[in-house]
């Protein structure tokens, strides 16, 4: 390759510029050479290298740089040509070398190459984005993917690699500001509909409907069973009381008010909390130090999928290692109950005060009493050296994703319908009006629908997904995931490691 700057005659092997035929139909003013895009100055007609793709052939050759002006290709002057015509000149030579005459840019942009890793909070497909300079240079990604941003020189189009790395070559992705703009434009172009946040969980009104159906089905719902409501599951294993499985706390959570929820009821997209609203979340690799408290294990899933069953089995496996958090309630203690064992029994005033001070991860009301899981109850377990396992409603995810609790989120997903029918033949569901009744097909369909909504909104925040098909397999997967969360490096929000004012 010849190289004599400032008027440089560069030759690069033919294979470097093997442009896909589809590019020739590209009407955009940017066209992809192998590993570089070019653009035309619409006033002067000059052709420039728009960007060199990180890790691509042009980048590795070290001969082309963003801003270089291309004078000739294979001896043909290219000034005034459309980028597509330049590509045709390149392609006209089917073998051998391709010669470029280039005027290098005088001041190359300085690459402040800082390592930046982000979690994609949205899906992106370059093929469906008419504004991308070159769709073939774009990179498709899905919610939850971890991306390494390798070039932020351009304020609109960054270059990134998807981890784990399968290609040496980066792809174009929209920058944060561009993607936010696209999301806003897309949102405003949609006909009015309640914001997705509002669609994720059944609202109290929907709950009332569900209850109405239940009432019709079972006129004589066993009220007595509900009066003795607390004995759904509780027990004493190796001297440790398994708290947090009482029916009332589980039922009240269906009518639950998350500490993070209220803003989601407004139509404006900016009303969603920060993480869900940002297209990318900066992340860092985090490995828990053996002397640090354990990460909080948080299970969630559609009602009836088996979250409590899995949680209970894990704690039963080794109650000296795993423990749930003891909930708070304003209900009066029964004769046999002790504060700090089944519940922390508190006055309404204290409970309200805790709500006011954001001390609850989630709370709700059931039969006139308040129930909630407090941050302090979780910390008490963690500070004792145990691994705290709780289950939450999806819209409490943000409340546990803090630098204080460093929650590892496990989503329990229902298997396909036919597997639900097979595996749940001898299982029982507890609804607002039933204690342990056999599953019906409607329950499975509702579970699937609820799973779809949860996944649509929160998938990107899940550290692990367990499909609860065969119970034994799920237990093993859960145990493995819990071990991994504590002992292996994980991607976590950068704000946990470099806390900011609002983290």
- Distance of closest approach, residue 380 Cβ to ligand ATP, in angstroms: 23
| Residue 51 in the binding site for ligand ATP (CB under 6 A) | no
- Cis status of the peptide bond prior to 6, with omega within 30 of 0: yes
Q: Are 4 and 101 in contact (CB under 8 A)?
A: no
| Residue 230 in the binding site for ligand ATP (CB under 6 A) | no
| Residue 314 in the binding site for ligand ATP (CB under 6 A) | no
Backbone angles phi, psi at 280, to 5 degrees: -130, 145
The residue among 354, 453, 361 whose CA lies nearest residue 407 is 361
Instruction: Name residues whose C-beta falls within 8 Å of residue 473's C-beta, 6 or more positions apart in sequence.
Output: none
Q: Which is nearer to ligand ATP, 103 or 451 (CB)?
A: 451
Q: Are 60 and 91 in contact (CB under 8 A)?
A: no
Q: What is the CA radius of gyration of the chain?
A: 29
| Residue 210 in the binding site for ligand ATP (CB under 6 A) | no
- Distance of closest approach, residue 258 Cβ to ligand ATP, in angstroms: 15
List, as one string, the DSSP characters of 266-332.
Answer: SSSGGGS-HHHHSSEEEEEEE---TTSPPPPEEEE-STTSSHHHHHHHHHHH-TTTEEPPPPEE-SP
Q: Which is nearer to ligand ATP, 138 or 306 (CB)?
A: 306
Q: Which is nearer to ligand ATP, 312 or 359 (CB)?
A: 312
Burial of 250 (0-12, 13-18, 19+ CB in 10 A): buried
Q: Are 388 and 296 in contact (CB under 8 A)?
A: yes
- Distance of closest approach, residue 406 Cβ to ligand ATP, in angstroms: 24
| Residue 423 in the binding site for ligand ATP (CB under 6 A) | yes
Residues 156 and 188: their CA atoms lie apart, in Å, by: 21
For residue 3 the two structure tokens come to 């190289």
Residues 121 and 383: their CA atoms lie apart, in Å, by: 32
The 76-115 contact track toward ligand ATP, x by CB under 6 A, reads ----------------------------------------
Q: Which is nearer to ligand ATP, 40 or 247 (CB)?
A: 247
Size of the site for ligand ATP (CB under 6 A): 18
Q: Which of 301, 327, 364, 372 binds ligand ATP (CB under 6 A)?
A: 301
Stretch near ligand ATP under the rule CB under 6 A, chosen from 167-175, 282-290, 299-307, 363-371? 299-307
Angle at 473 between CA 463 and CA 419, to 5 degrees: 95
- Distance of closest approach, residue 423 Cβ to ligand ATP, in angstroms: 4
Q: Are 261 and 489 in contact (CB under 8 A)?
A: no
Q: Which of 474, 485, 490, 495 binds ligand ATP (CB under 6 A)?
A: 474
Report DSSP state, residue 141: B
Question: What is the residue whose two structure tokens read 């709370």?
Answer: 363
Residues 135 and 179: their CA atoms lie apart, in Å, by: 15
Q: Which is nearer to ligand ATP, 55 or 302 (CB)?
A: 302
| Residue 342 in the binding site for ligand ATP (CB under 6 A) | no
| Residue 304 in the binding site for ligand ATP (CB under 6 A) | yes
Q: Are 216 and 234 in contact (CB under 8 A)?
A: no
| Residue 307 in the binding site for ligand ATP (CB under 6 A) | yes
- Distance of closest approach, residue 451 Cβ to ligand ATP, in angstroms: 11
The residue among 10, 17, 15, 14 whose CA lies nearest residue 38 is 17
Stretch near ligand ATP under the rule CB under 6 A, chosen from 65-73, 81-89, 301-309, 454-462? 301-309
Strands 297-300 and 36-40: unpaired
The 452-471 contact track toward ligand ATP, x by CB under 6 A, reads ----------------x--x
- Distance of closest approach, residue 255 Cβ to ligand ATP, in angstroms: 12
Q: Which is nearer to ligand ATP, 108 or 367 (CB)?
A: 367
| Residue 451 in the binding site for ligand ATP (CB under 6 A) | no
The 244-273 contact track toward ligand ATP, x by CB under 6 A, reads ------x-----------------------
Which residues in this chain contact ligand ATP in the complex, by CB under 6 A? 250, 301, 303-309, 423-424, 427-430, 468, 471, 474
């Amino acid at each position: 390759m010849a190289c004599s700057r400032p008027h440089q005659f560069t030759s690069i092997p033919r294979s470097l510029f093997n442009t896909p035929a589809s590019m020739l139909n590209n009407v955009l003013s940017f066209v992809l050479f192998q590993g570089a895009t070019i653009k035309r100055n619409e006033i002067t007609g000059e052709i420039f290298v728009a960007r060199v793709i990180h890790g691509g052939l042009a980048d590795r050759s070290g001969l082309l740089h963003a801003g270089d002006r291309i004078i000739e290709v294979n001896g043909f002057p290219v000034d005034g040509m459309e980028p597509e015509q330049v590509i045709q000149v390149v392609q006209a030579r089917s073998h051998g070398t391709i010669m470029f005459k280039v005027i290098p840019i005088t001041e190359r942009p300085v690459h402040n190459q800082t390592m930046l890793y982000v979690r994609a909070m949205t899906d992106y497909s370059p093929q469906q984005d008419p504004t991308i300079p070159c769709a073939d240079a774009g990179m498709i990604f899905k919610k939850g993917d971890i991306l390494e941003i390798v070039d932020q020189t351009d304020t609109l189009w960054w270059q990134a690699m998807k981890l784990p790395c399968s290609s040496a070559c980066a792809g174009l992705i929209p920058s944060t500001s561009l993607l936010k703009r696209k999301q806003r434009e897309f949102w405003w172009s949609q006909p009015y509909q309640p914001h997705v946040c509002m669609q994720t969980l059944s609202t109290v009104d929907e709950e009332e409907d569900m209850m109405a159906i239940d009432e019709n089905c079972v006129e004589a719902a066993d009220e007595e069973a509900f009066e003795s409501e607390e004995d759904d599951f509780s027990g004493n294993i190796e001297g440790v009381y398994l708290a947090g499985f009482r029916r009332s706390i589980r039922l009240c959570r269906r009518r639950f008010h998350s500490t993070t929820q209220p803003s989601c009821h407004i139509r404006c997209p900016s009303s969603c909390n920060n993480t869900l609203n940002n297209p990318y979340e900066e992340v860092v690799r985090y490995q828990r130090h053996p002397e640090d408290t354990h990460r909080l294990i948080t299970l969630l899933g559609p009602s009836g999928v088996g979250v409590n069953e899995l949680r209970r089995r894990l704690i039963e496996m080794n109650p000296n290692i795993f423990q749930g958090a003891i909930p708070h309630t304003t209900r009066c203690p029964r004769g046999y109950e002790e504060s700090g064992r089944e519940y922390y029994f508190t006055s309404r005033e204290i409970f309200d005060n805790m709500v006011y001070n954001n001390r609850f991860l989630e709370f709700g009301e059931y039969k006139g009493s308040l129930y909630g899981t407090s941050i302090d109850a979780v910390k008490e377990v963690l500070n004792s050296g145990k691994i705290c396992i709780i289950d939450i409603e999806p819209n409490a995810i943000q409340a546990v994703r803090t630098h204080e609790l460093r929650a590892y989120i496990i989503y329990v997903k229902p298997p396909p319908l036919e597997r639900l029918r097979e595996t749940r033949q001898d299982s029982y569901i507890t609804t607002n009006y039933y204690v342990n009744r056999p599953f019906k097909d409607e329950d499975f369909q509702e579970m699937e629908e609820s799973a779809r909504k949860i996944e649509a909104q929160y998938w990107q925040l899940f550290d692990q997904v367990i499909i609860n098909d065969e119970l034994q397999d799920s237990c093993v997967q859960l145990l493995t995931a819990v071990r991994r969360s504590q002992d292996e490096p994980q991607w976590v929000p950068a704000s946990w490691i470099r806390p900011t004012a609002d983290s």
